[in-house]
Structure 1
Amino acid sequence: MGLKVGIIGCGSITKFRHGPEYQANPYVSELVFFDRNPERAKALAEQFGGSVVQSAEEILQDASVDLVSDCSSNESHEIFSTEALLAGKHVLCEKPIALTLEGAGKIVEAQKKSQKKLMIDHNQRFTPAHQKAKEIILSESLGKVLTFKTTFGHSGPEFWGVNKSNNTWFFKKDRSGLGVAGDLGTHKIDILHYLLDDEIQEVSAFQGALDKVDEHGESIEVCDNLVCSLKTKKGRIGTASFSWTYYGEEDNSTFIYCEKGVLKIYHDPEFQLEVITQTGEEVKYKLETVMTNANQTNTGVIDAFVDCVRLDQPPQVTGEDALLSLKVVLALLESANTKKVITV
């Protein structure tokens, strides 16, 4: 008997990632969709062969639902993910885990209490280029990591959203909360923690709403750009930039500078990983089709989550991992607002 999955929230992330990836997974037998807009849920149920319910409670109270994907907007994660765990469901929650440390804490506590699996969708850990880069860093063939720089930017959520409109929840303070820092920044903080096997401890940042406007033509309530300096527990220092205004070309690159060379991840469109040593030797890896907003490929997250439940394995991104990333994102915004260096 296959697993029954309930999906809460039927925006782009469900349409392009969760829906097709659950549908393609051989261990999933049934999908149930809920969205505040019933038409959206109906459209995805038709597209991916599932059923529709009128409330999230119907999913949470259905004893036959094994897994829940929480694809609601940021401010609702602490409600739906907490309730789903306490209702005995395994939960895959979209990032960021929550908008506040208190909200994230509720979810983590619910996981401990229920002993169900909780995984957060920090999907960059699953890409072949990042996995290979981690392997090389761990091997210390390039020596120890000294510095790094990372960026994640595209033309903005209104180009990715379901209705392609600047009337998007991503631009609303009460729903998005953290702007581009929560949307794209949280991915990059998590991947730095993962690649470096380290934690960011001190931050300083600048942010702004430089270009985006809402449906009324007003400047948006959250940042569309954030640029920062980061220092880790192990003493590495580096920079990061997150942007919703990289018009023309997406950039999802990370450079890791080591004692004997550099790793360039997602810098070259043809080679997802390049290793250039101090002596000038170059090794280039062609590992995957790079996923962008315009070109969606299987993230591997859904398959990993299903396997974690099915085989009773620890999740690859825990609630605690996501809580650490959220702490850094909140520190970045505090630094930008107070113009001070903040200790995470």
Structure 2
Amino acid sequence: MPKAIRIAAILLLVLAALLMVLAFGLGRRATPAPEDMANKPASTGVPKRMLVVANKDLPAGHPISAADLSIAEMALPPANGYTAIADVDGRTPAMNIAAGAMISAEQLLQGIAVGIKPGERAVAVPVDELAGVSNRVSPGDYVDVFMSLQSPAASGSGQANPQARLLLSRLQVLGYGNADVGQARPASGEQDNAVGATAPEPGSRAETIASRDNRGSTSSNGDAAQARSAILAVPVQDAGRLLLAAHSGKLFLALRNPGDTGLADEAIFATPAPVLAVRSNLEGAAEAAARPENRAYAGIDLNALAGDNTTRAPAAAANGAEPQRRRAARPASRQGIEIIRGTTPSNRLSSP
């Protein structure tokens, strides 16, 4: 074999070996090792989103303002966090939130307390089918509260003098029975109507058992619908009136259109006298007594609630009220002895 052919064959063999080594290296680099697959971070592949985070440390119990929040890009599942600052503005943390941390629903206060406006209190009142508009009231509705009350002055005299009037206007219902405002309601029949379930054969024992279960379920749902209490958002200065009326009389809820904003004008009626009098030797006490919290602290009694203001009774008599009738004084009798027999004037005899 010529020497040139032998050298070419050797070069080809060396080139083939180099190509094999190069191919093996590229194959190992393209296929990741099992250890690398196990240590691969779980967040890889999760798209990043713009979420609401805290600009500073947020202590529990203090409302959050928009200035305390900002938007940051974070790689989290779609179910976590808020995407708009308006959804968190005004909410109250249930725990301390560190600066830079994402704001989640679990960190904020929940329940009906979130829906109470400043200056309002959540007050529960008893209701039944008649007082609750045949149980047509739902959380979030607006109602007027009417009061039926027996006058305490008439009760003391043994006379029946009941009264009924509007007590409070346009109160929001925060809860009715077991339902609260903002609470999701399960769809009716969601558990009973299973997908793919076949109806029992008519006349069979299975149909009898199913109809008996349906009657029991309907009865239990009817009992659950009979609410015993309603939670109303009441201005703090009116909470005492509502509680006293519920204790001494009966309350009736009247549903109203949410767009109807008409209210009773209390300024044209006499203000009920409070239980506690304002101290006259304190400067600015009269102005401070007009604050809603101080009006609630001053309280109200049953006479004032019923409109029987005993302190104004003498003034009413002096302003033209009919005075109590008294027997006319007898005229001076003539000198002598007067003998009266019976009740008619014809039987009256006089002697000089």
Same fold (TM over 0.5): no
Higher helix share: 1
Q: TM-score, normalized by length of structure 2?
A: 0.22
Which structure would you say has the larger RCO, counting Cα contacts within 8 Å and 6 or more residues apart? 1
Q: TM-score, normalized by length of structure 1?
A: 0.22
- Greater Cα radius of gyration, structure 1 or 2: 2
